[in-house]
Each structure stands twice: as structure tokens, then as C-alpha cells.
Structure 1
Amino acid sequence: MSYSNITNFTNPSTIILLGIPGLEAAYVWISIPFCTMYAIVLLGNFIILFIVKIESSLHEPMYYFLCMLAITDLVLSTATLPKMLSIFLFNSREINFSACLAQLFFIHCFAVMESGIFMAMAFDRYVAICHPLRHSTILTNPVVAKIGLAVALRGIMLVLPIPLLLQRWLYCRTNILPYTHCGHMDVLKLACGDTSISSYYGLFVLFCGIGLDIFFIAISYFQILRAIFRLPTKDARLKTFGTCISHLCAILAFYTPNFFSSFTQRYGQNLPLYFHVLFGNVYLQLPPMLNPIIYGVRSKQIRDRLLRLFVCVRSI
């Protein structure tokens, strides 16, 4: 099939995902690390869910939020990687326009949800450190469930207008995307006419979905650090701050690639296109892969339960 530009159409039935332009000859080799990443995402996050389910001592707010994070990571990774691998391994570049809109909805929706979960986890750390005696009365199971529901509904309500708006526009340029997945701004660039509403709404989602989360996370850690510095001994300060290390590492793994991706898109015009595409794919897969590793290594309860599980399996 020839993937030449298609012009003068209003509603594309399919979108052509080119993958990583310029690196077609290396697709098989590129697929190996991404297959490995996806295997780690599936194995690591399912292990987290399984261990928290069977270990009653982990039935606490922090681990409930960790389970929400694991589910979000599984969906976020699965929304992009299977199609990416089908492009690399089977040259399956076509995607139905409705499926493209569904894919970008899941990507942006669950990215907003993940950001909201990090904010909820920051609130949990704030209550645990600044109000330890009230932690169990403030963050009860019903409250944790309501926070999780609010995070999910916020993500859905914020992102749902994005594909609905994209469906309204006329497309008269091309149906080719030089990427491995559909993104909001990438699809919007294919539309003709005045699409400023979609562009402004995308900025609104970025501000309300991620910007506010970062602001509240910063406030939470400001209060946490104030409480830590008031502790009488250095050992007490280090021990208390150690309970936040996993959360801080996960935050850095999520927001840092996001920042650099935005930075390179705005100021990296001289960089080759394949760099932008590769970095965008790594950005989407890195947090889902690192989160279970971070919490598995840093959390003694999860680490000990996992070791006992391996011992039981080996003894069978």
C-alpha cells in the first residue's frame, strides 16, 4: 500500500501510523526493549496487586493508592504498546479513526488519573507525618474509595471532551501520523479550519489535570518538610523522610519525562523526528515500568512478602 498524503476528505476512516520515521530498518531490534518493558509492566504491576490483595497487613491507604496506581499503569501501557509492537513486527500501520480517538482518550485520561493518584498519595503522606494520630480516622476505607472515585471521574470528565471535539473537525490535509500512537495535538494538526477551541481546551486539561496536582503535591511536601525539621533528632528526621522516598521517586519518574517531552517539543526543532517519537514512547512506558520496581524495592512489607512467595514457589 502506498502511504502518500490523502487530501480533500472530511472524515478519515483510518489513520496511518508511520511508527518511527527513519528507523524502519531497526524495527525488530527496537521492539526487543519495548517488549521487555511491557513484560516488566505486566509482571510488576500484577505482582503488586496480588501481594496487596493476599497480605492483610498491607490493607492500608498507601497500598490502596498503590493498587490504583498499578491499575492505571497497566491501562496506560496497554493503550499504546500493543499497537506499537504490531507496527514494528507486523507493519500493521492502519488504525480506525474511532479507535485512534479511543486510544488518545485512554492515554490522556489515565495520565491525568495517574497524576491525581500521586496527589492523593502526597495527601496520605501529609496526614501520616503531620497528623499521625488522626491518620486512621481521616483516611478510612470509605474515604480512600471516594478519593479514588473522584480521581477517576475527574480524569474522565476532563478528557472526554477532547475526542468529542476532534470528531467535529473537518480533516483536509492528510491521514498520516509520523508516530506510533495517536495523541491529541498530533491528530489536531491533521484538521483544517479554526481548531483553537481544541487547542485551548488541551491547555486547560493540562493545567487542571496536572498543573494543579503538582501545586498541591508541592504544598503537601512543604508541610511535610516543616514537620520533619521540627523532629528532635537526625535519626527521627531521616526515618520519617524515608517513608516518602518511594513516592518522591515515582513522582520524578512520572513528571520529569513529561517536562522534557514538552521542552523538546517546544525548543527541540533541530532534533530529528525519530528522537521525538522515541522519547515520547519511552515517556509513556517508563513510569508504568519503574513504579512497581520502586515500591517493590523501597517497601519492606512488599519485599518481604514477595520473598516469602518465591520461597513457597521453590518449595513446591
Structure 2
Amino acid sequence: MDNNLNITYITIDAYVELDKYRFVYFVIMFTAYILIICSNSTIVCLIVIHKNLHEPMYIFIAALLMNSVLFSTALYPKILFDVLSEKPIISYPVCLFQFQVGYSLGGSEFYLLAAMSYDRYVSICKPLQYPTIMRKRNICILLVVAWILPAGQFAVPVGLSADIELCEFSFKGIACNTAIFKLQCEKSRVSILYIMIPFVNLLILPVLFILFTYIRIFIITYRSGREVRRKAAQTCLPHLIVLINFSCLGSFDVLLVQMENDFSKILLVYNPLFNPIIYGLKMKEIYKHLKKLFSQGKMKRRCLH
């Protein structure tokens, strides 16, 4: 506690043998951060530049990848600073802010995946109504809801926790998560309830909605011809892989934080690298533009030599 400024500081106790491997940790984390920024931004730029990618499906993919960039930027700079610090600490207000931003963007990921599944559902199950339903205005509404609603829901428990006194001042974790609520002296049922409601709304409900849409898609495509099934698989499979991956990590983070296990936290930090790999390799049109981009880069390097 800083008595002069009345600020409470929390010690971050998650780095094993930090003094011995400080620069190794830093190089690994910094490299991962740069790869996340470059890989996600490259695909977003391709979607913005090429007009044939200005479709709802690719707009949602771009939004999802931008969400990954924002999520990483909310975590990595502080983690890199902690790795170079003799004693990693964070003020309680900043910790709450990091919790708010990190979990809000995590919730946005599920909402964006739900919007993508709805887009695929309308495209495959109601193709004649697709241009009417997936208009620009409706896409904008879905994107705004996906980013604003999670932030609003987590703002309530964070606001309630701002003035609660802490009895413990150290936690095992590389970023502020639900473990910070274990440090509080007061553990009221109201606070726990306000924490659980966003997790239900932002994790369980979107996943159930996504499962419903994909079951409907599976039923429709199963009754259709082989070509319809092939096209549905090409566009839906990457979304399902990303959904299963992030759902597992989100569930592990909620469950394993109770056991103070760092495994899920480390995976969540590296997860933003997963999405551009899946969409870059599995989405045919994106892969085509990526291949063209890299081939042009090779030709330029040959010309320079």
C-alpha cells in the first residue's frame, strides 16, 4: 500500500526462475506479440484491400482478428514490463482495468463467433433472404453489440470491487483474472453473482446459440447434395475449430483459476496466434490472397538480389 497516494499494489508471483531466464522470457513473449500483431493485421488488411472479401463472413473474420490484436495489446505490454522488472507489481485499479478489458474482449470473441455462425446459418438455410437480413446496418449492429455488451456487463462487478479492501496482496498469474477477487476481504454473494452472470451471458449462451445454428446447418446440408455439403464445410469448419479451441480455453480459465494453475493462462496469451493460422489456411479466398502476397514478396527479393 502506498500511503501517500492511497494506492494498493499487488505482487505478481507467476514467473519461475525469472532472474535466471529473464531475457529468454522477454524474447519469447516479445516475439509472440510481434507475430500476433503481424499475422492478424495482415489478414485484416487483405480483407480491407480486396473488394471480393467485402462480404459479411470476411467482415466478421476481420473483426475477430482485430479483437485478438486488442486482447493481446491489453496483456502483452504489461507482461513484457513485468518480465524485465525486479519485482513485478500492479496497482489494484490497473489490475481491475486489465481484468475488465481482458474479459470484455474475451466475451466479444464469443459474440463475434455467434454472429459468424448466424451469418453462415442465414447463408445456407435461408439463401434467398440473405441479402435482406445481412445488410450493412445489421452487420454494424451485430459488431457494436459484440463489443459494447460484454464491456457493460463486466463494468458492474469491476465497479463494485473498486472500493473493496484487500487482505492479500499477491497472486499467481501473468495477468489479472478472477483470482483477484480471492484477495478481497469481503466475499459477498452479490459480488459472486455479478461475476457469474457475465460468464453465463458471454460464454454459455453464445455457445448454445452457435451449437443450435450449426445443428440446423448440419440438418440442411445433410439433406442437400455433395456440392452444398462441401461448400458448407469450407466456410463452417474454420469457425467450429476456432470456437472449440476458445471455448475450451475459456472454460479452463474459469475452472483452473480456482486451483491456481497457470496452464490455461499461458495458453490464453498465445491463443491470438491460432485464429490467423486457421483462417489463413482454411479459408480458400484468404489463402489465395496470402499466397499471392508472399509470392510477390519473394519476387521482389529476387529482383533486389
- Matching residue of 1:302: 286
* Aligned AA (1:300): K
For CA contacts below 8 A with separation 6 or more, give which structure has more relative contact order. 1
CA separation in 1, counterparts of 2:158 and 2:255?
25
1:34 alignment partner, SS class: helix
* Aligned AA (1:307): K
- Matching residue of 2:303: none
TM-score normalised to the size of structure 1? Answer: 0.87
2:10 alignment partner, SS class: strand
- Matching residue of 1:180: 174
Instruction: Indicate whether 1:124 and 2:108 are aligned.
Output: no
Structure 1 residue runs of 4 or more that deviate by more than 4 Å after TM superposition = 21-24
- Matching residue of 1:144: 139
1:180 alignment partner, SS class: coil
Unaligned runs of 5+ in 1: 1-5
CA separation in 1, counterparts of 2:15 and 2:250?
19
Q: CA offset at residue 81 of structure 1?
A: 1.7
- Matching residue of 2:243: 251
- Matching residue of 2:107: 112
Contact 1:76 1:111 in 2 (8 A): yes
TM-score normalised to the size of structure 2? Answer: 0.90
Q: CA offset at residue 12 of structure 1?
A: 4.3
Distance 1:262 1:191, change over 3 A: closer
CA separation in 1, counterparts of 2:33 and 2:145?
28
| Aligned residues with identical type, % of pairs | 25
CA separation in 1, counterparts of 2:61 and 2:118?
13
1:210 alignment partner, SS class: helix
* Aligned AA (2:282): R
Unaligned runs of 5+ in 2: 301-305
Q: CA offset at residue 168 of structure 1?
A: 2.4
CA displacement, residues 223-279 of structure 1 (integer Å, 9 cap, x when unaligned): 01110111134x54233222211111111221112223334345xx5xxx5xx2243
Question: What pairs with 1:153-232 in structure 2 (closer than 5 Å)?
Answer: 153-171=148-166, 173-183=167-177, 185-232=178-225
Aligned CA-pair RMSD: 2.4
Contact 2:11 2:170 in 1 (8 A): yes
* Aligned AA (2:211): A
1:168 alignment partner, SS class: coil
Q: CA offset at residue 22 of structure 1?
A: 6.2
Q: CA offset at residue 100 of structure 1?
A: 1.4
Pick the aligned partner of 1:241 from 228, 233, 237.
Answer: 233
Q: CA offset at residue 24 of structure 1?
A: 5.7
CA separation in 2, counterparts of 1:98 and 1:19?
20
CA separation in 1, counterparts of 2:255 and 2:169?
26
Q: CA offset at residue 113 of structure 1?
A: 0.7
More helix by share: 2
Q: CA offset at residue 294 of structure 1?
A: 0.5
- Matching residue of 1:3: none
Contact 1:21 1:178 in 2 (8 A): no
Contact 1:101 1:163 in 2 (8 A): yes
Question: What pairs with 1:73-92 in structure 2 (closer than 5 Å)?
Answer: 73-91=68-86
Q: CA offset at residue 15 of structure 1?
A: 2.1
* Aligned AA (1:295): Y
Instruction: Indicate whether 1:56 and 2:40 are aligned.
Output: no
1:244 alignment partner, SS class: helix
Q: CA offset at residue 80 of structure 1?
A: 1.2
Contact 2:150 2:198 in 1 (8 A): no
Q: CA offset at residue 157 of structure 1?
A: 1.2
Pick the aligned partner of 1:282 from 261, 267, 272.
Answer: 267
- Matching residue of 1:292: 276
> Which deviates more from structure 2 when the two are superposed, residues 191-200 or residues 88-97?
88-97
Distance 1:92 1:22, change over 3 A: closer
Distance 1:144 1:21, change over 3 A: same
Pick the aligned partner of 1:66 from 61, 66, 76.
Answer: 61
2:262 alignment partner, SS class: helix
1:20 alignment partner, SS class: coil
* Aligned AA (2:217): I
Aligned residues: 300
CA displacement, residues 13-55 of structure 1 (integer Å, 9 cap, x when unaligned): 3222123356664444344443332222101111011101110
Distance 1:158 1:230, change over 3 A: same
